[in-house]
Amino acid sequence: MKISGVILAAGKGTRMKSDLPKVLHSVLGKPMITYGQNAIKHLNNKYVVVGHQSDLVIKELANEFKPVIQEEQLGTGHAVLTLLNSNEFKNDDSDYIVIIPGDAPLLLKESIDTLISESTKRKVALGIITAEVTNPSGYGRIIKDGNTISKIVEEADSSEDEQKINEINSGMYCFNKNFLLENIKTLNSNNEQNEIYLTDLIEIAFQNKLDTVIVQVSEDTIKGVNSMSQLNEVETSLREELITSHMENGVYFQDPTSTYIDKGVVIKAGSRIMANTHLTGTTEIHDNCVVGPNTMINDSTIGEGSSVIFSVLDGVTIKGTGTIGPYAHLRRGSILEEGVKVGAFAETKNSNVGSGSKIPHLSYVGDADLEENVNFSAGSITVNYDGKNKHRTEIKKDAFVGSDVMLVAPVTVGEGAMIGAGSVITKDVPPKALGIERNQQKNIDGYMDRKKPKDEN
């Protein structure tokens, strides 16, 4: 039996009060629609109905998901009708069609599989996922005749008694394809919102004495996102699950409530994540690292046994055991080999730092290649930008750069060379040479006495 999957993702999400399409708001570092795709990616044919800023939404779709554009957003029924009339759907060979909203990131694949199993096993006209919730406000209510669902009433159209019902519609269905094709064109927009409701098909099935099935799940599973506060709620729920799974795999969290981790982050066993740490993007923390407190790491790899405290890293690779911080800023393109130290208030950017090299504090290394065992002392910088172009600095192994040095790129410091403190180096320094650039010091005796006003003498 073949099952098609459909994600409804055309709405703007006006209550979000954002220009960004609702389904593109991030949940643990991934667009919300990613979660819907993951829930139905195992089905045979897959479609996404898009509308508001459709070009942006289409960019986030996996290759196997076919977009169908709903030019006017006239309700869920109209969205599905648009799909069924589209060229993309013309050759669909499915027996049942699963339809889910694009704004339910807590939805589990297991719930969809149960819905499909129950619907196909009983050969019903339609199956629906529902939940009993503590606060049903904003949701369509499930109306029953005995144990059979007779209709769904949207809140805007509901009576006072119907509003007291706490079993609500999830917006997740499994339709017999023939039933859907035969009846969807009969739907109308005679309701408070002047929209075509997909839910009206439930009442049609009931009136025609066709079998239906309800799969009831937990409240959290179907929680949708219609506002920024609801976005925060679902993200908090998913983050708690994610951190718990990391802890079960041997990662220690000093304060899970102040730790923020994206879904794509990898953390190996034995690592310790301290309070107020943000790990985002494709970050990978290897075994036995200490990260935090007060640290932000994005799209970076942290080598085994490294320590990163009170620092910001973005697009960085630490290949071995590194010691970073406090208050270091490592920017994109920084690649650190084994045993590198980057200390307090130091910054690197687009630079390779060889094993055993040290950038202790108050320094800037940008567009540079440091070989092994280079000492880059306090207050020194690579002057990499001439106002138009960037230039590279090369520092060969075992070189020593003294404090408060400016290396004006392009320039090379030879192997084992030394740069005297306070120098501005504009020419290459040969291996094992001392590069020094200073004006001669001049002391003026008695200067301060002569500077005093006469009335102080």
> Of 348, 386, 380, nearest to 367 (Cα)?
348
Sign of CA pseudo-dihedral 126, 129, 132, 138: negative
361 is known as an active-site residue: yes
> Tokens in use for 30?
């991934």
Residue 437: is it exposed, middle or buried by C-beta count within 10 angstroms (0-12/13-18/19+)? Answer: middle
Question: Which is the catalytic residue, given 52, 78, 329, 361?
Answer: 361
**Is 148 within 8 Å of 78 (Cβ atoms)?**
no
What b/e readout covers 196-234, taking b as 16+ CB neighbours within 10 angstroms?
Answer: bbbbbbbbbbbeeeeebbbbebeeebbbbbebeebbeeb
Helices 109-122 & 32-40, crossing angle to 10 degrees? 40
- Residue positions annotated with a catalytic role: 361
